[in-house]
């Protein structure tokens, strides 16, 4: 099992969208922060030259800098450009891998990063082995990891032909997000939560991942996945696992993974009746989308976790494109007090914990305090543990750095990825037709019925506390 630092980064799919939006900015940040200095061999089948690749990397950095009102750090870019190499070739052609072997020169422990469709993972992995580029190497693969449980199993078996499990790094960039890690930290670095974090005290949990934008420019990719495969099977079930898992026995990858796996396996597989799928009006006009597409751009569902801790507690999850705002938020609603002493407390005004994961990071507890005056009446307030708007290390910077060092704590194991597919497997075949919704709304009307309590979905835009 390789434990030393990788000495080259091989980047398949380097002329693609992900490289432009996320990877070049992450590499640049690693140069600025940690002095990253290793050959970066980019591979694609685009007929480009090294100069064109450098230009594309520069454009990507200019784009990222502009979004922050900054300009490109030319000194750091010069270091990045000096380390870039380019191999152009077809992934099905052995000559591409002979050229890669040559470009690797003296590097012994490459990290192969596959930002390419999963259908190519097998052929690339086997070709790396044949060309002598897989020994002591690591491989990073992008999501989606398969299309369903059967294909994920097959993919795992294919990768295992060439790479042992500890050398396979399956990316879910949500796991590289600071506020997502904070869910785990906050729960287990404090004593007060554990006694109430169960069905005795928790009424329900809601997770909303709302995006104000649609799928322009990604129509053909999105048409092949839909919201369940794109964000539910991975990002949102991962968030659920961190919220609901038992305490790991240590902070090492194996202990964390063991508890997450137990939790994934306890999630009751979803049935069509648990799920509402929606599609925003206008989706079918997006380039790359079929005129009669039945792919969901919105999903809302009710999930149960069959453990002693969570028996009977509904986890309501929704995600969608073209919703009113962009935010990801978790609400853990606590039960109302067992007896009503003060007459103004309604179910919707009970305690809660609110974790806003993006765009800003907030951890807050909802509570009630007495209003001044003779009457025993109160107002809802929020006790804020953290409210932070400063940008953190990007998930890709964090995760690529971890993979180069060989630390797989924040990556998904073969067993976890399969267990997560098992949860959604029965609802992938579009038994329920998509329900239309207007762009800018909170999804189709049917989504409201997913939440069984009269309070319905929490509105992440709502004011959560009142002045006392």
State the residues that interact with ligand BG6 by CB under 6 A.
211, 230-231, 358
Q: Which residues are annotated as a binding site for substrate?
A: 173, 177, 211, 230, 321
Measured CA distances, 277 to 319, 320, 328, 369, 445 (Å): 10, 10, 19, 39, 11
Q: Which residues are annotated as a binding site?
A: 143, 173, 177, 211, 230, 321
Q: Which residues are annotated as a binding site for NADP(+)?
A: 143
In this structure, how many other beta carbons lie within 10 angstroms of the beta carbon of residue 34?
Answer: 11
Nearer to ligand BG6, 305 or 423 (CB): 423
Known catalytic membership, residue 200: no
Given a contact cutoff of 8 angstroms between Cβ atoms, the answer to whether 356 and 329 are in contact is: yes
- Asked if residue 384 has a cis previous peptide bond (ω within 30° of 0), the answer is no
CA 99 – CA 87 distance, rounded (Å): 7
Name the residue whose CB lies closest to ligand BG6. Answer: 230
Q: CB under 8 Å to 9, separation ≥6 — which residues?
A: 27, 38, 39, 40, 41, 110, 111, 113, 400, 404
CA 220 – CA 301 distance, rounded (Å): 25
Q: Which two tokens stand for residue 145?
A: 């990891």
Q: How far is the CB of 420 from ligand BG6 (least distance, A)?
A: 14
**Catalytic residue (one of 160, 199, 235, 458):** 235
Within its chain, how far is the Cα of 280 from the centroid? Answer: 22
Given a contact cutoff of 8 angstroms between Cβ atoms, the answer to whether 395 and 173 are in contact is: yes
Three-class DSSP category at 357: strand
Three-class DSSP category at 337: coil
E strands present in 58-128: 84-88, 110-114
- Provide the terminal-to-terminal Cα distance of the chain, rounded to the nearest Å: 59
Of 239, 293, 280, 241, which is closest to residue 263 (Cα–Cα)? 241
Sign of torsion, CA 175 181 187 191?
positive
Residues annotated as catalytic (active site), given as ranges: 235
């Amino acid at each position: 099992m390789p434990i030393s630092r990788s000495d080259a980064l091989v980047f398949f799919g380097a002329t693609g969208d992900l490289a432009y939006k996320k990877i070049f900015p992450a590499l640049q940040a690693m140069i600025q922060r940690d002095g990253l200095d290793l050959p970066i061999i980019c591979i694609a089948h685009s007929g480009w030259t090294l100069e064109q690749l450098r230009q594309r990397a520069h454009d990507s950095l200019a784009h990222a800098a502009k979004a922050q009102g900054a300009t490109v750090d030319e000194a750091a870019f010069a270091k990045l450009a000096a380390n870039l190499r380019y191999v152009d070739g077809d992934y099905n052609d052995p000559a591409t891998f002979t050229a890669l072997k040559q470009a690797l020169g003296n590097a012994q422990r490459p990290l192969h990063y596959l930002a390419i469709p999963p259908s190519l993972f097998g052929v690339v992995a086997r070709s790396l082995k044949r060309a002598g580029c897989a020994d002591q190497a690591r491989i990073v693969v992008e999501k989606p990891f398969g299309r369903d449980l059967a294909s994920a199993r097959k993919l795992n078996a294919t990768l295992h032909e060439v790479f042992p499990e500890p050398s396979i790094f399956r990316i879910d960039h949500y796991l590289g997000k600071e506020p997502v890690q904070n869910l785990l930290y906050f729960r287990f670095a404090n004593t007060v939560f554990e006694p109430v974090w169960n069905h005795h005290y928790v009424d329900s949990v809601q997770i909303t991942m709302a995006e104000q934008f649609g799928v322009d420019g990604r129509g053909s990719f999105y048409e092949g996945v839909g919201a369940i495969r794109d964000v539910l099977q991975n990002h949102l079930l991962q968030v659920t696992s961190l919220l609901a898992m038992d305490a790991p026995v240590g902070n090492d990858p194996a202990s964390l993974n063991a508890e997450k796996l137990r939790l994934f396996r306890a999630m009751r597989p979803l049935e069509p009746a648990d799920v509402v799928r929606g599609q925003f009006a206008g989706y079918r006009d997006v380039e790359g989308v079929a005129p009669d597409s039945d792919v969901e751009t919105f999903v809302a569902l009710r999930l149960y976790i069959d453990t002693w801790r969570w028996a009977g507690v509904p986890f309501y999850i929704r995600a969608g494109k073209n919703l009113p705002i962009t935010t990801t938020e978790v609400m853990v609603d606590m039960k109302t007090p067992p007896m009503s002493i003060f007459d103004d407390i309604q179910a919707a005004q009970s305690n809660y914990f609110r974790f806003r994961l993006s765009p800003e990071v907030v951890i807050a507890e909802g509570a009630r305090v007495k209003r001044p005056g003779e009457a025993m009446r109160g107002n809802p307030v929020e006790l804020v543990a953290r409210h932070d708007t400063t940008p953190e290390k990007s998930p890709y910077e964090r995760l690529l750095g971890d993979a180069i060092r060989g630390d797989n704590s924040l990556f998904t194991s073969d067993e976890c990825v399969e267990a997560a597919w098992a949860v959604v497997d029965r609802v992938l075949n579009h038994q329920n037709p998509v329900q239309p919704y207007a762009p800018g709304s909170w999804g189709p009307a049917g989504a409201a019925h997913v939440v069984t309590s009269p309070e319905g979905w929490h509105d992440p835009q709502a004011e959560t506390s009142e002045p006392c």
